[in-house]
């Protein structure tokens, strides 16, 4: 029983990271109808920025905040420079754009910081949380930061005018323009926020997976699995999907014989395929009907 509880709690902790990545992916998907394959690399690059700042002597939380601001601006810049011109381009052109972005960021990080694995600090410490053996303080910190982030985002989208405008621009762009919303900038703002959310995921998971240019590969696949499971059209679903995938991954690794650590990633892919076959809209997504 203790093993079970332990695995569930650890699953919730990594699930928090998947939830952040899934949320970032869904935010961009809602805005431009494409999956951002480079979301993980963007998060990785941000994490390197925070690491570099700490190497220069900046304290953890100051580096955290500076990195958030950097990621926000960088996300907006990427949208303005690369994806705004591609807005009316075919799907494959956009996919090529995302893959190019992936390769550029990955190689740049390798060039600047090389591919050796680096330690990344945790501000929470790794002692048992409140003396319990079930979960570490860092894992509790991951959950805590994510919950705060989600509450903040909920408040932003539900109760601020700019949040309302962003939702309107994502759901019915033409009507949004007709009430005077600059939808193009709302998309850019969505990119900035998604990039900042991804950077939080990167900084929280880095002490666990260690810092290197390929650190987010697996994490992003889990993020995609979470987004697909929850429904690509539902930010709430993406978050729930993130936590579910985290717990499922751990339980499968522990209890299904032969899965262990090595086959955890194929499980995420199997999950993506199963959801797409059985319930393409996901748990909370709306069926997308196109009039032809």
Partner 1 sequence: MTTLLNVKDLRAYYGQVQALHGLSFSLNEGSLTTLLGANGAGKTTTLRAICNMVRSTGGIEFDGKPLNNRSTESIVRFGIAHVPQGRGTFTNMTVEENLQLGAITRKDSAGIVSDIERMYAHFPVLKQRHTQQAGTLSGGEQQMLAVARALMLRPRLMLLDEPSFGLAPLVVRDLFGILGKINREDKVSILVVEQNAQLALELADQAYVIETGRIVMSGNAKDIANNEEIRKSYLGY
Q: Terminus-to-terminus CA distance in the chain, angstroms?
A: 54
Q: Which of residues 247-286 bind partner 1 (CB under 8 A)?
A: 286
How does DSSP classify residue 189?
H
CB of 24: closest distance to partner 1 in angstroms? 21
Cβ-based nearer residue to partner 1, 105 or 169: 169
User: Which residue(s) pair with 118 in the sheet?
Assistant: 211
Sign (positive or negative) of CA dihedral 153, 155, 159, 160: negative
Binding to partner 1 by residue 167, rule CB under 8 A?
Answer: yes
User: Binding to partner 1 by residue 182, rule CB under 8 A?
Assistant: yes
Residue 165 binding partner 1, by CB under 8 A? yes
| Residue selected from 58, 86, 134, 168 as contacting partner 1 according to rule CB under 8 A | 168
172 part of the interface to partner 1, by CB under 8 A: yes
Whose Cβ is closer to partner 1: residue 60's or residue 185's?
Answer: 185
Q: Which of residues 49-68 bind partner 1 (CB under 8 A)?
A: none
Q: Is 116 in the site for partner 1 (CB under 8 A)?
A: no
Q: Angle at the Cα of 193 (from 47 to 191), degrees rounded to 5?
A: 95
DSSP 41-95: HHHHHHHHHHHHHHHTT--HHHHHHHHHHHHHHHHHHHIIIIISTTTTS-HHHHH
Which region among 10-18, 26-34, 110-118, 165-173 touches partner 1 (by CB under 8 A)?
165-173
178 lies in the binding site for partner 1 (CB under 8 A): yes
The verdict on 164 binding partner 1 (CB under 8 A) reads yes
Stretch that binds partner 1, among 161-169, 201-209, 221-229, 269-277 (CB under 8 A): 161-169
175 touching partner 1, by CB under 8 A: yes
Residue 268 and residue 257: Cα distance in Å, rounded?
A: 16
Q: What is the CA radius of gyration of the chain?
A: 19
Q: Which stretch binds partner 1 (CB under 8 A): 58-66, 103-111, 166-174, 214-222?
A: 166-174
Task: Report CA torsion sign: 54, 57, 62, 68.
Answer: negative
Name residues whose C-beta falls within 8 Å of residue 226's C-beta, 6 or more positions apart in sequence: 15, 18, 19, 21, 22, 238, 241, 242, 244, 245
Is residue 247 a contact partner of residue 12, using CB atoms and an 8 Å limit?
yes
Q: What is the DSSP letter of 286?
A: P
Q: Rounded to the nearest whole angstrom, what is the least distance from the CB of residue 176 to partner 1 in the complex? A: 8
From residue 92 to residue 111, what is the string marking binding to partner 1 with x (rule CB under 8 A)?
A: --------------------
Place of tokens 């580096």: 63
The answer to whether 135 contacts partner 1 (rule: CB under 8 A) is no
130 DSSP assignment = G
Query: Do residues 46 and 67 make contact, with C-beta atoms less than 8 angstroms apart?
Result: yes
3 sits near partner 1 (criterion: CB under 8 A): no
Residues 101, 94: Cα–Cα separation, whole Å: 10
Among residues 57, 180, 257, 258, the one that binds partner 1 under rule CB under 8 A? 180
- The stretch among 7-15, 112-120, 164-172, 255-263 that binds partner 1 (CB under 8 A) is 164-172
Q: Which is nearer to partner 1, 182 or 274 (CB)?
A: 182
Binding interface with partner 1 (CB under 8 A): 161, 164-165, 167-168, 171-172, 174-183, 286
């Amino acid at each position: 029983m203790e093993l079970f509880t332990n695995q569930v709690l650890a699953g919730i902790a990594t699930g928090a990271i998947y939830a952040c990545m899934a949320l970032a992916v869904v935010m961009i998907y809602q805005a431009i109808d494409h999956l951002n394959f480079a979301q993980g690399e963007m998060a990785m690059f941000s994490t390197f920025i925070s690491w570099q700042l700490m190497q220069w002597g900046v304290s953890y939380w100051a580096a955290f905040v500076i990195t958030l601001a950097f990621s926000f601006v960088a996300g907006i810049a990427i949208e303005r420079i690369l994806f705004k011109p591609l807005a009316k381009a075919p799907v494959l052109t956009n996919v090529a754009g995302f893959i190019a972005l992936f390769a550029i960021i990955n190689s740049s990080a390798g060039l600047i910081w090389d591919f050796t694995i680096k330690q990344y600090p945790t501000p929470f410490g790794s002692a048992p949380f409140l003396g319990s053996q079930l979960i570490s303080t860092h894992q509790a910190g991951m959950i805590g930061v994510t919950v705060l982030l989600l509450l903040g985002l909920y408040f932003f989208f539900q109760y601020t005018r700019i949040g309302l405008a962003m939702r309107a621009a994502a759901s019915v762009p033409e009507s949004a323009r007709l009430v005077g919303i600059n939808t193009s900038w709302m998309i850019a703002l969505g990119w900035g926020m998604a990039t900042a959310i991804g950077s939080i995921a990167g900084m929280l998971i880095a002490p666990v997976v260690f810092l290197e240019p390929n650190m987010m590969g697996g994490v992003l696949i889990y993020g995609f699995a979470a987004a697909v499971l929850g429904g690509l059209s539902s930010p709430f679903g993406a978050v729930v999907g993130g936590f579910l995938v985290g717990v499922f991954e751990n339980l499968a690794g522990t209890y299904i014989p032969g899965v262990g650590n090595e086959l955890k990633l194929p499980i995420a892919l199997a999950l993506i395929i199963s959801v797409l076959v059985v319930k393409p809209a996901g748990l909370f997504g709306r069926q997308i009907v196109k009039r032809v």
